[in-house]
Amino acid sequence: MEKLKRAVSFISLAALVLLLLYVKYAYERGAELWPAKTKLSKDEVRIERKIKIPEGETKEFIQPAFLVRLSYSSTETPEDVIEDLEKGNYGHDWYEKARLNEDGTLSMTVTGKQLEHWISTREDGINKRIVNNKNKDMEIKINEDFTEVTYILKKGYEISFLEWAIDGVVILGCLLEAQVFTGVPPEDCHVREVVKREEDGVVIIDAVTPGTNYEVTEREWYGEEQKK
């Protein structure tokens, strides 16, 4: 089977899913889509609210350039991202001001309520995929500072590389934004992704974003035994 590649072109395509989920659909509906969840399972994550913004005040956060690039396809420009953000920021649910910087980073000025909206939606985006993928025989583990995510493929798993990649791009974006909105400087934002099979312990993917591209064949993804 032709090799499945996760490179810049694939990331740009798959990132459209993230854009649709978190820019267009979410922006149109607003905060009521994500009511606060008070009880989490042991596998779900909660992002610590490290930064408090007093009422009536704002704070600027900066998204790294590579994260901004995740939000647009090969036919779009960073300016298109700003335009989409502005169209979706009805009622100022997400930010007060946004600007694209010369170095490709994105500066956003937010209130305390907007900061909570960003964080709660990212929690929800991650946790929904943790819960949903249990039915696909894949366990997702995330470390406390949101810099590493491990995907454990259980015996007999049926999830494909492409299915994983689509969810993986969304989780990657959520983890990076969780770092941004808890005060991590843009130059320090990174995520290590590890995918391994539980049955034989084989590590299929071990990559750090930004800076790593990789490709996976069907044989590598499923292993010799499952292909027999």
The mean pLDDT of the chain is: 83
8 Å CB contact between 70 and 129: no
- Read off the pLDDT band of 17 (50, 70, 90): very low
Q: What is the pLDDT of residues 54-108, one digit of tens each?
A: 999 999 999 999 998 877 666 677 778 788 888 888 878 899 999 999 999 999 9
Which of 85, 64, 5 lies closest to 210 in space, CA to CA?
A: 64
What's the whole-number mean pLDDT along residues 175-180? Answer: 97
- Which pLDDT score, from 0 to 100, does residue 73 have? 64
- Which pLDDT score, from 0 to 100, does residue 215 have? 85
- Which pLDDT score, from 0 to 100, does residue 84 have? 84
- The domains of the chain are located at 1-32+50-135+157-186
For the record, the structure tokens of 56 come out as 């009536």
| Least reliable range by pLDDT among 85-89, 112-116, 149-153 | 85-89
Model pTM?
0.80
What is the gyration radius of the CA atoms in the chain, in angstroms?
A: 18
